[in-house]
Amino acid sequence: MNKKKIFFISDLHFGHANIINLCSRPFSSADEMNAALISNWNSAVGSSDTVYIVGDMFFTSQDPAPFLRELNGEKILITGNHDGACLKKHRAAYDFFSAVTPYLEINESCHPITLCHYPMLEWNKDRRHGSGKLGYLIYGHIHNNILPEYKILFMRGNALNAGADINGFTPVTFRELVRNNEEYRLSVFSSHDDRARFICGARCMQLSDADNVPLTKIIESLCSEEHDVEKATEFRLACAIRYGGFDIDSARRFFGEELSERALALSKEKLIESER
């Protein structure tokens, strides 16, 4: 008996011809795109699986039933800005979903997860406290855009973009979503410091929590250019707190004896200055 799987995706935009140009999608027409989205979906999703669609499944005035009828699995829609008009016009489309809601909180892969089409900078359990599991945000809306104002969002390693444009136009598991987002954001950051900060924050959360990889081994290579040990420690701690979802006490426990009182003090000062 196959184990039921959970998948995530957003911003499919069934029926939306112009999205091909707007997001540089590799399709020549809306019909080709629709067919590829259905094929990709059914290649990944089985009849007993569940897919959370994090908004903007449609962008069409046509009846979405022909698309929905072909898609495997249980479908739960977290509505986006383009779904409402289509659902209002074609009320029967609701029958293809087990739930339709603008916001949802679930647990998956032992993590609390907030599902919302619109990206946020704060959500339930988005910071690690003590031994509690870190909460993730799974969002959509921004597609594969990399506007400057998104930089702080990309630094949040536990905010994951479910957009079809960065996930191979295919529903993905939580682990696949984490990996795809990490690869995408690394391609966005050009400077060494930005890349290091993102990797540090993401790895602190994801690997130490999921795979029991020692943080010091993960992060040591990120600061290889920094020969001042105390300054490197300060940098790692600041990244873990600011971008990794750690509070001071949790970061200190994870790093162990490596954290000196001076490094803690310097990190606090650095974080306060960065917020000004």
Stated pTM of the model: 0.74
Instruction: Assess if residue 138 is contained within a domain.
Output: yes
In a domain, 27, yes or no: yes
Asked if the structure places residue 252 within a domain, the reply is: yes
Backbone angles phi and psi of 238, in degrees to 5: -60, -40
pLDDT score, position 218: 43
Which residue has tokens 């917020």?
Answer: 275
Residues 39 and 158 reside in one and the same domain: yes
Strand segments (E) across 95-193:
99-101, 103-108, 111-116, 136-139, 159-161
pLDDT given at position 191? 55
Q: What are the C-alpha distances in Å from 190 to residues 99, 194, 242? A: 40, 7, 19
102 with 145, same domain: the answer is: yes
One domain for residues 196 and 160 = no
User: Do both 249 and 123 map to the same domain?
Assistant: no
Host domain of residue 143? 6-188
In a domain, 1, yes or no: no
Query: Do residues 117 and 239 share a domain?
Result: no
pLDDT of 35: 97
The DSSP element (H or E) to which 6 belongs, if any, is strand 6-9
Q: Does 177 lie in the same domain as 40?
A: yes
pLDDT value for 21: 96
- Domain boundary at 188, 221, 237, which? 188
Q: Are residues 133 and 53 in the same domain?
A: yes
- What is the bridge-based pairing of β-strands 99-101 and 74-78? parallel
| CA angle centred on 111, ends 105 and 115, rounded to 5° | 30
Q: Are residues 148 and 263 in the same domain?
A: no
Do 42 and 171 belong to one domain? yes
Domain end residue (candidates: 162, 188, 214): 188
Q: What is the mean pLDDT of each run of 10 residues along the chain (276 residues)?
A: 88 95 96 97 98 93 90 98 91 95 93 95 77 84 89 82 97 92 74 54 48 44 46 56 56 53 54 43
- Taking a C-beta distance cutoff of 8 angstroms, is the pair 160, 138 a contact? yes
175 and 249, same domain (yes or no): no
H runs (alpha helix) in 78-173? 83-89, 151-155
- Asked if 37 contacts 14 with a C-beta cutoff of 8 angstroms, the reply is yes
- pLDDT reported for residue 137: 96
Question: Alpha-carbon distance 162 to 40, whole Å?
Answer: 15
User: Residue 200's pLDDT is what?
Assistant: 53
User: How many domains does the chain divide into?
Assistant: 2
Looking at residue 187, its pLDDT comes to: 72
Does residue 257 form part of some domain?
A: yes
213 occurs within a structural domain: yes
pLDDT for position 252: 57
Q: Are residues 155 and 70 in the same domain?
A: yes
